[in-house]
Chains A and B, each alone.
Chain A
Amino acid sequence: MSQQAHAEPIAPRGRPASKPESRGRAVRAVLVGIALFYVLVLIVAPLAGIMYYGLRNGVGAITDTFSQPDVRHALYLTVVIMLITVVVTTVLGLVVAFVLARDRFPGKSLLSAFVNLPLAVSPVVVGLMAILLFGRGGWFEPFFSAQGIQIVFALPSMVIVTIFISIPFVIREVVPLLEELGMDEEQAAWTLGASRLQTFLRITLPNIRWGLFYGMALSAARAIGEVGAVLVVSGQVQGSTETATLYILRAFDQYQAERGYIVALTLAAFSIVLLIGIEAFRRRSLKRAGQE
């Protein structure tokens, strides 16, 4: 018995080492193969598909599409909504992140639950919320119609729903960075007489900037791609409240698939550029976290 127990641990090492090793290599190759196949079928092949349909009619179709006034207006509107959304979710998101990371008060965990709530809400439901608040018979409808301000079926509601959906991104990226950073450097700066604003601009912001940029890029990507919420609140008026995604929907409905594919490809290309930025930010942010 005891002899066997002694012999056991040695035996596997003594056995031909090359056999399990080559088997291990084969297993690894199979795992990589399955993973690559999954990514290929699910993501790469569809991407190739849309590139084929978007580019097959050449430059003529593309310039024709971009010369359409409704296409131009849709892209313009998408950019406007994206810019407003990124500015609002960044500035106010930083405030929320500071409060969550640095402040202590009763109800704080509730506040942090609110931050994640938009992740659980269907975009369609977000649109519905705006209709219920600002649409006919809504809580705020009497007030805004008395002021003569159109909210639903106009830009304000489209911006509001997009902000709702993009709220979590900046906050979720910045809070862990602030918590990790601690307050030592900031306290040193205050002690040396720096004002709060100076401390923020010179100490805090440089430390969290890559994570912040990553959050902003995610926010922008989400804002460009939003369709469900905007569909519900916009009324889809051509050349007025039609965003790029809504244009794509209409193009396919009205048998202008060609233009639909080209605008979709444009959005995809823009997102891929954004993604390259996101990857760079994420890597820098991780590297930074690794150094600390």
Chain B
Amino acid sequence: MVADALTRASGRARRDPGAPTRWALRATAMLYLGLFVLLPVVVILQRGYSDGLTNLKDALDNFGAWNAIKLTVVMAFLAAIINGVFGTLLAYVLVRIRFPGREIVSAIVDLPFAIPTLVAGVMLVALYGPSSVVGGWLEDHGVKIIFAAPGILLALLFVTLPLVVRSVQPVLAELDREEEEAAQTLGAGSWTTFRKIVLPALRPAIVAGGLLVFARSLGEFGAIVFVSGNIPNKTLTAPVFITQLLSPGSFGATGGPDQAAAVAGLLFGLAFIVVLLTEKLISGRLERTS
């Protein structure tokens, strides 16, 4: 018995899962991702671009189409910059500074991961909408947030805040503090130390987080649909525009699924490139640290 077990243990077949199991697992994984992920992507490209760029051109001829795409990209870019800065600050504060309530703040930062995006939009309308106390006061002073660009930006910032914080936090926590102490012993001020020592080490994580914010913001729908008011040429974003293309007539857009697919392909291509870049950055960082 023992000898049997030993020979089996030393044999190759016993070391890794047997070939049939391995193939079954592989096949299941490929079938799952192939059916649920690859196939839908292929159908978007096929329907949107089988006639070349005609569908895209037709879609962009719709009223407010170009501005919807422009607005989406600009807002996503702003969200990436602002949350890049504040997300890094939050990560720094959470990792390096002890203050009462730190744990609670850390949990609140994760809240946007859990709260439905649509509910986030409802929350922003409840607070900053024209009929609320805060929103009414702001409106009296000439600041319009809901049904305007600032509302869209706020919604994106809300939804994407954890992305940068959670990207920077682990890197900062693992950062060796000896270099910083050395710099300070040599007379560098804390700002100089941060700029010359800490920031360069964090840069890949910050950029990766910012890119994720950008990609996520390009496609965000739930948080925006309430807050923006969807006014063509003003506050209509690309994802909402796609839903309008799918129900022509009700919003004045012509459209149909093929045009929607063309715009979707454009949006999706941009976002996917960004996500691939991010993965590269993150894996590059892992290779360097190990």
Is A49's CB under 8 angstroms from B123's CB?
yes
Known interface pairs A132-B257, A260-B122. Does A48 touch B242 (Cβ–Cβ under 8 Å)? no
B177 within 8 A of A: no
Known interface pairs A39-B109, A116-B279, A224-B116. Does A125 touch B37 (Cβ–Cβ under 8 Å)? no
B268-290 near A? 1/0 per residue, CB < 8 Å: 10011011100100000000000
Is A32's CB under 8 angstroms from B123's CB?
no
- Rounded to whole Å, the gap between the CB of A275 and the closest CB of chain B is 4
- Rounded to whole Å, the gap between the CB of A47 and the closest CB of chain B is 6
Q: What are the residues of chain B within 8 A of A39 when measuring CB–CB? A: 90, 105, 108-109
Known interface pairs A117-B37, A135-B257. Does A50 touch B122 (Cβ–Cβ under 8 Å)? yes
Q: What are the residues of chain B within 8 A of A79 when measuring CB–CB? A: none
A126 within 8 A of B: yes
Which residues of B (17-32) have their CB < 8 Å from a CB of A?
A: 17, 21-22, 25-26, 28-30, 32
Of A57-65, A142-150, A264-272, the one with at least 4 CB within 8 A of chain B:
A264-272
Task: Please classify the interface of chain A as helix (H, G, I), strand (E, B), loop, or mixed, using the class held by over half of its residues.
Answer: helix
Known interface pairs A132-B257, A191-B5. Does A46 touch B126 (Cβ–Cβ under 8 Å)? yes
Partner of A264, one of B30, B119, B132, B279: B119
Is B187's CB under 8 angstroms from A9's CB?
yes
A87 within 8 A of B: no
Partner of B119, one of A120, A191, A267: A267
- Rounded to whole Å, the gap between the CB of A86 and the closest CB of chain B is 14
Q: What are the residues of chain A within 8 A of B109 when measuring CB–CB? A: 39, 43
Partner of B108, one of A43, A126, A138: A43
- Rounded to whole Å, the gap between the CB of B34 and the closest CB of chain A is 8
Question: Could you say which of A38, A116, A226, A245 has the most chain B C-beta atoms within 10 Å of its C-beta?
Answer: A38
Of B52-60, B61-69, B92-100, B197-205, the one with at least 4 CB within 8 A of chain A:
B92-100
Known interface pairs A39-B105, A122-B271. Does A275 touch B111 (Cβ–Cβ under 8 Å)? yes
Residue of B nearest to A93 (CB): B32
A80 within 8 A of B: no
Known interface pairs A31-B93, A227-B118. Does A124 touch B242 (Cβ–Cβ under 8 Å)? yes
Residue of A nearest to B115 (CB): A271
Measured in the bound complex, the distance between the Cα atoms of B89 and A32 in whole Å is 9
Partner of A31, one of B39, B43, B97, B218: B97
A76 within 8 A of B: no
Residue of A nearest to B269 (CB): A120
Measured in the bound complex, the distance between the Cα atoms of B86 and A149 in whole Å is 50
Is A119's CB under 8 angstroms from B215's CB?
yes
Known interface pairs A125-B44, A278-B114. Does A116 touch B9 (Cβ–Cβ under 8 Å)? no
Measured in the bound complex, the distance between the Cα atoms of B57 and A276 in whole Å is 48
Known interface pairs A268-B115, A275-B111. Does A42 touch B268 (Cβ–Cβ under 8 Å)? no
Residue of A nearest to B186 (CB): A9
A103 within 8 A of B: yes
A248 within 8 A of B: yes
Is A271's CB under 8 angstroms from B114's CB?
yes
B15 within 8 A of A: yes
Measured in the bound complex, the distance between the Cα atoms of B39 and A275 in whole Å is 33
Of A66-74, A107-115, A205-213, the one with at least 4 CB within 8 A of chain B:
A107-115
A154-177 near B? 1/0 per residue, CB < 8 Å: 000000100110010000000000
Q: What are the residues of chain A within 8 A of B272 when measuring CB–CB? A: 117, 120-121
B75 within 8 A of A: no
Residue of A nearest to B241 (CB): A124
Is B118's CB under 8 angstroms from A43's CB?
no
Q: What are the residues of chain B within 8 A of A151 when measuring CB–CB? A: none
A192-236 near B? 1/0 per residue, CB < 8 Å: 110010000000000000000000001001001111100110000
21 of the cross-chain contacts (CB-CB < 8 Å) are A32-B93, A43-B111, A45-B134, A47-B123, A49-B127, A113-B276, A115-B37, A120-B215, A120-B219, A124-B221, A124-B242, A128-B246, A128-B264, A132-B43, A187-B9, A226-B222, A227-B117, A228-B221, A228-B222, A245-B119, A268-B115
